[in-house]
A and B are shown apart, each in its own frame.
Chain A
Amino acid sequence: MEHGYILSILYEMALVIGGEVSVKPLLIKTLQRLLYHTSFPAGFVCLGVPSSAADAEGMLEVRLDAAVGDYELAGLIGQTVRLPAQLLRGTAERGEDAALLAALPDKVRRHKAYLRLPIDGQGVVVLLAPQLPDTDLPLTQLFQPVMANLAKAILLCRYHDAYAGGLIAARDASQLALTASEDKFRAISAAALDALIMVDDSSALVYWNPAAERILGYRADEVLGKPLHQLLTPQRYQSNAVQGFNAFRSSGQGAVIGKTIEIEALHKEGREIPVELSISALKLNGRWHAVGILRDISERKHAEQELRLLAAIVESSDDAIVSKSLDGLILSWNAGAERLYGYSAAEMKGQPLSLLAPADRPDEIPDMLARIRRGEQIKRYETVRLRKDGVQLPISLTVSPLRDAAGQVVGSSAIGRDITERKQAEEELRHSETSLKEAERIALLGNWELDLATNVMSWSDEIYRIFELDPKKFGASYEAFLNAIYPDDRNLVNQAYTDSVKNRTPYDIVHRLLMPDGRVKYVNERCETFFNEDGKSLLSIGSVQDITTRRLAELGMQKSNRALHALSTCNVALVRATDEIQLLNDVCRILVEIGGYRLVWVGFVEYDAGKSVRVLARAGAHADYLDHARITWGDTPEGQGPTGTAIRSGEFQVAQDILHDPKYLPWREQANVRGYASSIAIPLFDDNNRVFGAMNLYGREPNAFDADEIKLLQELARDLAFGIRVLRLRVERDHLHEQQQHNDETVKQALVGTIQAIAVTVEKRDPYTAGHQRRVANLSVAIAMELGLSEDRITGLRLGATIHDIGKIYVPAEILTRPGQLSPMEFEFIKSHPQVGYDIMKDVKLPWPVAEMILQHHERMDGSGYPRGLKGDAILLEARILTVADVTEAMMSHRPYRPALGLEAALAEITQYRGIYYDPAVVDACVHLFRDKGFSLSG
């Protein structure tokens, strides 16, 4: 190994170690470079390995100062760990010892090899690897100088860390003290109610506390550095203020320094505010500063102003306003008192108040004075006083204690008002109120008042009766009123009242009340609000009339009409329905749209493990309710709801109040948020009187289903079940019909196929007539089309013609194929083939007279044919066509006993015997085909 190579590594390590000033990065960087150079992937450092003996397991407790490359060890940095003493102690060593390294806190036990490098009395570096990395360098020796260097670096870094730590601690401490002091000042300044302002000797603002912001409107950042006078001093004071400040700048003296003055200051908004200002001088860094404490005295000024105003009001009041000492001597007597009692102020000042007391109330004034002494206020006390002229005057007195600055009661003030007119009015009113109450009771009409100034509400007795509240337990209040309103109607009532006040128009609405026992009442509420001249609302007066009976009757009528309308529309849908699901959806939709129900759905019974109810149709608000509701007809808690119970019992189930029905517990919350207040489930029955589903309806209100409505809905459910059964029958019938048609067609096709197969067999036996039947069939069909036969008849004719010689199956093949003349007996054999063919086909059930066609195809119009010698129309038209086609084709084709005679000979033959042997119309059609339409026999 080259010397230079090793030196270069030492050089680099020395630079790395020398480049660090703190212990932690020093150890990490050194470990990283050691790992880099040695290919060991992990390592750790313990600074200070104790010299004490290891424990029984050979382990030492040491602090782990650094670790790189081992996840578990890296998580233990800074902690005390147990490591094998044998690994930590000893000279530099490179080796493999899996057992020793198994004691490391490495769960995976990955390390098997190590390189120990003691740090010259400062601890140890241990590198770890799964296997010993290859190297040809003497690593233990190589790194000795590095470790020596590291030991010194650790000492230096420790000093540095301690020094830096000390500096930081000292800095932190002084910083803390400074911060605490600043915080304290800031807290005091922030908490101060008075503005604290400081300006320097250039009159620039240098301090501005939160109270200054509050009083003068400027934020600190808006004013700091700006000239004081320009911002805060009203124009009229500016000249003096600037002059005074110029003197202050050099001497710290001034006319207002050390004094408290009342002056006006400019607010940010431009208005002036009265302030009390105390100014003091302060020298900072050799420059004079002025500190001002400024207090907003707007309220005080306002109070003084009000006091003056009050005195004027007292003097000008119509009421008698009198003040007196605690022993009852009159101290003041306003113009109102002069007018009311007839005495002048001069007469009454210094006189006892008892002058005004009637003889029959000797204790009244002493009692009142006693109460005043106790600090009580006497409000609207109604009594009688003697006027100067001896007349007894009914008055209302409000007497209040007068207190000195220390709060001690020193006298009283009394306001007296003449209530003669009111007393008379009250008497009249008392009489009319009795009548009104009786009228209200009869009309179920109550009235209320809301004094908007005091927010005091009052109800008539009838309102308590309508709301079913005990006046002794419930006071008239807006809360009690709101609580009694049906929850869904509260917004309506609130809005009506708010709009009425806003638009200054009376309102007249009908809304519901919810009684504690769940009953609903309907009331007609009217209200009007009165306003003063300034447009301020003063008083709302309203009436509440119980119209429950009338309204229920109306609603019942509406509901019945609606239910009947819904029923009749559903019946129309039932009659017109062609699809079951469509029908169910239509019925649900009609019941929601016309019947006014909030949700309607139909579910069918499923015979699955969970006995579920399958929702087939739904309509209405928040129908997603059904996606979350687990509905079953099983005997489980979820099966105890109306639907499950209706299906199990076969009886309709009503939940008149979902909110309070215990059976509804599993669905209550979801139903409530969707506005379902009541529900009914009605079972649907099949032909065997077995329940196959249920129709479910949800109302918007409790008690939505009365007996009449339930009867109608049951009728509808019966109709719906019937409709479903009819639709199912119809579907079944259509299906059967379709299947029958399909079967018929299949049978027909099979027969035709079989017959055609037979025809081919026949032809195979007689090569000379091979293809004869096919050609005859083609010509027959062409003639029939010419004659305008129906498509179905033509199909039958094609079939008959295709097998018209089927009887030849019994004619020996040698007779059929032998050239030359036939003997009479042989000819008889041949002549038997129509009968034989008929016998073969007569029992085959076909929609066409195929057997007859075969039997008659050798009959002639004049009765000269065989086998039966039929004549004219007695011969089937199809047979007549077949005869002409048979003769024509036979003459045009080669036969064993003769060569082909050709088209002309054939047409000559049928033309010659037209009307004799052959049907003339058929002959004409055949000739027309060949002559005019170019028909040819082929195949």
Chain B
Amino acid sequence: MDSPGMHYFPSLDDAAVESLLDAWRTAYPLMGVLALLPEAEKGGVERLQSVCTRRKVALVGAVFPALVESGEFRTQGLWLLRFDSMPYVALHENLPHDAAGAARVAEQIGNQIRAQINEHPQVTLFLLFDALVPNISTLLDELYLQLANRVHYVGANAGSETFQPMPCLFDNARVIQNGVLLMLLQPHLGAMLAHGYCAPAKMISATSTEGNRIRQIDWRPAFEVYQELVRAQSSVEVTRENFYQHAVHFPFGIIRANHEVLVRIPVALEEDGSLFCVGEVPANAVLTLLEAPKIDSPHTLQTLVQGLTELDGELAGSEILLFYCAGRRLHLGLAAASNELRQFDQLTRATLIAGALSLGEIGSSLQWGYPLFHNATLVATRWNKS
């Protein structure tokens, strides 16, 4: 029987990590690892880099608010996920925030990826962004222009849940921020994404935006309108102080003609009254306020598991990588969110589910779907299986 391709360490123990790496490398000489760390363990990145470098193991990884393990959220420990054969990876930092710069970077990435893609038709571009990159949707649109449906797209955002800048993406030698970590998995069938947020009710327009900042809604200061909307619909008084606490329950939805919404959770309030979201809001996008949105958890999980099964076959006994949105956990509460994790565990009957609490997710609810940047979703993919 093959050794498991994922391993959770309850604490960062150099000797234990070295021992696992040696064992893995004996069986898989070309291996590399993806490391997921919780924010509380970010100080361990340097140690991990030196252990991997010492053992001559290629390393990439990211720091998230928390990890997902055995149906629980963990703020300590370390996940090591083995690539049986180290794929092409690239760490891009200082991503430009303007449209022309995004197009230029996407073209560079497109050229690099095209040069690496092999014959296999099923290839996945796995992207881990720093959550503070303000133009992820634009970058995705530009990447889609470059690579179209030649690859599947899956990804998540790393960083601090406080949304303070933090170097959160790394390889053997570097730890960067305002960047993206690209991994080209081939062959790989992609991922599945689901959120189960119900349809919107009231329409508003984001009449002035800048990347992931909404400056005006309906031609008025964004926060002022937001306060009014929340007050009118739930009698809750949103202030600067309680903003994040309430905002996770009143996210925006960007309307789509297929009656789906793209969730955008406002996570910070700027000095000038503009609202800072994780993920861009296009200028003049028609928004809805998802007033205390009801989440259909069973349907979400059912959709996710069914999609994954259709994509990759029977899940029992498999190893799965899962990203769970931090905003979703805040909205549902820790107990309900943990319950979703456990239900997912039971539904898949997977041997191991490794994952992290993410600050935004990339994917599609259909295979070969248009890759979009979401909030409040679950993204799951099979690990080490073509």
Contacts and interface: CB of A to CB of B under 8 A. Distances in A.
Contacts of B141: 32
A9 B150 contact: no
Contact of A39 (B149, B255, B258, B367): B258
Interface residues of A, number: 38
Nearest to B147: A71
Contacts of B259: 1, 134-137
A384 interface: no
A9 B149 contact: no
Contacts of A131: 366
Interface string B175-207: 000000000000000000000000000010100
B284 A133 contact: no
Contacts of B283: 15
B144 A69 contact: yes
A1 B121 CA distance: 39
A96 to B, nearest CB: 15
Interface string A24-53: 000010001001111111100000000000
Nearest to B262: A36
Interface string B132-151: 00000000010011011110
A133 B149 contact: no
Contacts of B173: none
Contacts of B258: 37-39, 133-135, 137
Contacts of B205: 8, 11
A871 B4 CA distance: 86
Given A9-B286, A39-B370, A41-B369, A70 B149 contact: yes
A650 B141 CA distance: 78
A68 interface: yes
Contact of B257 (A67, A108, A137): A137
A32 B285 CA distance: 14
Interface string A1-17: 11011001101100100
A41 B367 CA distance: 10
A45 to B, nearest CB: 14
B372 interface: yes
B148 A69 contact: yes
A71 B372 contact: no
Interface string B261-299: 000000000000000000000111110000000000000
A309 to B, nearest CB: 70
Given A5-B203, A8-B205, A39-B256, A74 B145 contact: yes
A142 B370 contact: no
B369 A39 contact: yes
Contact of A35 (B282, B367, B370): B370
Contacts, number: 87
B260 interface: yes
B28 interface: no
Contacts of B282: 12
A130 interface: yes
Contacts of B243: none
Residue of B258, B260, B364, B366 ringed by the most chain A CB atoms within 10 A: B258
A110 interface: yes
A889 to B, nearest CB: 62
A139 B370 contact: no
A70 B369 CA distance: 11
Residue of B149, B260, B282, B367 ringed by the most chain A CB atoms within 10 A: B149
Given A8-B203, A8-B286, A110-B368, A41 B149 contact: yes
Nearest to B151: A71
Contacts of B364: 41
Interface string B243-261: 0000000000001111110
Interface string A347-379: 000000000000000000000000000000000
A4 B203 CA distance: 7
Contacts of B255: 5, 8-9, 12
Interface string A55-85: 0000000000001111101100000000000
Interface in B142-180: 144-145, 147-150
B145 A28 contact: yes
Nearest to B371: A41
Contact of B260 (A2, A39, A71, A73): A39
Interface string A128-156: 01110111110100100000000000000
Contacts of B369: 39, 41
A110 B151 CA distance: 13
B302 to A, nearest CB: 16
A137 B257 CA distance: 7
A36 B258 CA distance: 9
Contacts of B257: 9, 37-38, 135, 137, 139, 142
Contact of A69 (B284, B366, B370): B370
A41 B370 contact: yes
Nearest to B137: A36
A129 B367 CA distance: 10
Given A110-B368, A135-B258, A42 B148 contact: yes
B238 to A, nearest CB: 24
Contacts of A71: 147-150
A68 B255 CA distance: 21
A524 B351 CA distance: 88
A37 B145 CA distance: 17
B66 to A, nearest CB: 31
A213 B17 CA distance: 68
A108 B368 CA distance: 12
Interface string A326-345: 00000000000000000000
A323 B289 CA distance: 115
B372 A36 contact: yes
Contact of B366 (A2, A36, A39, A142): A39
Contacts of A4: 203
Contact of A130 (B256, B260, B368): B368
A71 B205 CA distance: 34
Given A8-B203, A15-B284, A41 B145 contact: no
A37 B259 CA distance: 8
Residue of A8, A9, A70, A139 ringed by the most chain B CB atoms within 10 A: A8
B366 A42 contact: no
A68 B371 CA distance: 12
Nearest to B114: A71
A139 B257 CA distance: 8
A67 B147 CA distance: 12
A73 B150 CA distance: 11
B146 to A, nearest CB: 8
A195 B88 CA distance: 60
Contacts of A41: 149, 364, 366, 368-370
Contacts of B121: 108
Contacts of B256: 36-39
B169 to A, nearest CB: 27
Contacts of A135: 257-259
A31 to B, nearest CB: 10
A42 B366 CA distance: 13
Contacts of B370: 35-36, 39-41, 69
Given A41-B369, A137-B258, A68 B148 contact: yes
Contact of B285 (A12, A39, A137): A12
Nearest to A2: B203
Interface string A697-731: 00000000000000000000000000000000000
Given A36-B256, A37-B258, 10 more contacts: A9-B255, A28-B145, A36-B372, A38-B257, A39-B260, A41-B366, A41-B368, A42-B149, A131-B366, A137-B259
Interface of A: 1-2, 4-5, 8-9, 11-12, 15, 28, 32, 35-42, 67-71, 73-74, 108, 110, 129-131, 133-137, 139, 142
10 contacts: A32-B141, A36-B256, A41-B366, A67-B148, A68-B148, A70-B149, A71-B147, A108-B121, A130-B366, A142-B257
Q: Which 4 A-B pairs have the closest CB atoms?
A: A37-B257, A8-B286, A71-B150, A71-B148
Interface of B: 121, 141, 144-145, 147-150, 203, 205, 255-260, 282-286, 364, 366-370, 372
